Amino acid sequence: MSSAWRSAFGKIWDTFPYQNAVLAFACCTYAWETYLNWRQFSRLRTKRRPKAVEEISSAEDYEKAGGYSRDKLLYSFVHDSYDLVELFITLSLNLGPKFWAFSGDLISAAGYGTNNERSPALRRCQIKILQSVLFAFLSLVASMLAEMPLSLYFEFVIEARHGFNKQTLGLFLTDKIKGIFLGTLIGIPVLSGALYIIRVAGDSFFFYVWGFMLVFQLIMVVIFPTLIQPLFNKYTPLEDGELKTKINVLAARIRFPLTKIFVVDGSKRSSHSNAYFYGFFGNKRIVLFDTLLAHSSVEEVCGVLAHEIGHWFHNHVLQGLVIIQLQMLVQFYLFNEFIHYTPLYASFGYDSQPILIGYLLFQYIFSPVNTLLNFSMNLLSRKNEFQADAYAKKLGYTDVLRTALIKLHVKNLGNLNPDSWYSAWSYSHPPLVER
């Protein structure tokens, strides 16, 4: 911690029990979210439909949606409990320091330890970066394996029970393997670059590493939909016809810089439906899920797209990007203040101060702020959704957007009886009854 922080807070923070504070906050968050889940679960057990949904949903659809939401809430309770127990085990048994030491042992066994003859060929920082990369890779694999039973249950029991899961076990496992491969392929150079910048940039590293991550994110915005997503789904240009003509007319009417329209085979994994656009500046591309086209009319699809284009008109994507960059810059600046703060490392059982470990520990103690920021972003997102709805209404799509949203919500078994507290905390999109 810098001298400025020390003079401001004295030595009280040197003996602060950071690990216990992290566990206490995790318990408080767990208790709060469990309470919200209980509030929502209680509402979903009500057999009588709210007046707001009586005209848009049958009693049968209401019960189906309630059953799906109840199952997801029970799953959420189990998942959150699992995560809390995992956190307690990881921190209480000092698994992080042991995992870090294990990564170092593997590096040494490969001939790159500090006492090996091959070590002079590599600078010390390169060895530490190599150890950090290995630690990150092993952590990724361990996390994915620990999460696997819950993921399998959600996809092949809950989603399948309610008619949504369409993927085979083979496809599910293939996706996981692809995820590990891509995470490794992309993550190694990015992590190595960030760690190297932090090591050589000195006390002002926060600005340089932020710039590095900004460039990386902008590159990913370009390559993710064009190079990475096609590895998981098939994107087919929308065939000529009434729908394509009307979409192009809509885009030309409001000068939306549309270049291509694709249909993605989302149905090979799930019957959930969606639509979105991507691209910079004058190169916007629209993606329609085949499941959306299966149960929506041409006008309803145009209504949904008018809503999505409303996000473009009001610069919501740019707004989100700016907010994320500001948050990241502030986090890197604050991390710069804690990166050499020995009591923080010692509180979690580390006898050294690796950069990657320092950042992970900083994320632990920054979690209360992140929780509030996530809640604030939910509120902003809900505001933006209403703004995009208003834009579609302005274009004359009020009725068709209304019917399209009802169909989407009913087909996706969306929550038709949301608790206000649960909704405000959990949903980035306002529920159908509010819209």
Q: Which amino acid is at 11?
A: K
Mean pLDDT of the chain: 88
- What residues does 211 pair with on adjacent strands? none
Span 176-187, average pLDDT: 90
φ, ψ of residue 270 in degrees (nearest 5):
-155, 155
Nearest Cα residue to 80 out of 14, 21, 33: 33
Q: Domain segments of the chain: what residues? A: 3-426
Asked if residue 310 lies in contact with residue 388, where contact means CB atoms within 8 angstroms, the answer is yes
Query: DSSP character for 413?
Result: T
Per-residue pLDDT at 118 exceeds 60: no
pLDDT in tens, 281-307: 667 888 889 888 888 889 999 999 999
Asked if residue 280 lies in contact with residue 222, where contact means CB atoms within 8 angstroms, the answer is yes
Task: Determine which of 1-5, 388-392, 396-400 has the lowest per-residue pLDDT on average.
Answer: 1-5
d(CA 373, CA 377): 6
d(CA 422, CA 47): 19
Q: What's this model's pTM, rounded to 2 decimal places? A: 0.86
d(CA 124, CA 119): 8
Q: Which amino acid is at 292?
A: L
pLDDT in tens, 356-395: 999 999 999 999 999 999 999 999 999 999 999 999 999 9
Q: Is 83 a catalytic residue?
A: no
User: Three-state DSSP class for 263?
Assistant: strand
pLDDT in tens, 42-59: 999 887 887 777 777 788
d(CA 341, CA 346): 9
pLDDT in tens, 63-81: 999 999 999 999 999 999 9
- Catalytic option among 155, 300, 308, 419: 308
Q: Is 307 marked within a binding site?
A: yes
- What residues does 286 pair with on adjacent strands? 261, 277
Q: Which amino acid is at 405?
A: L
Q: Is 385 marked within a binding site?
A: yes
- Catalytic option among 60, 389, 399, 419: 389
Q: Which residue has 């649960």 as its token pair?
A: 422
Q: Is 159 a catalytic residue?
A: no
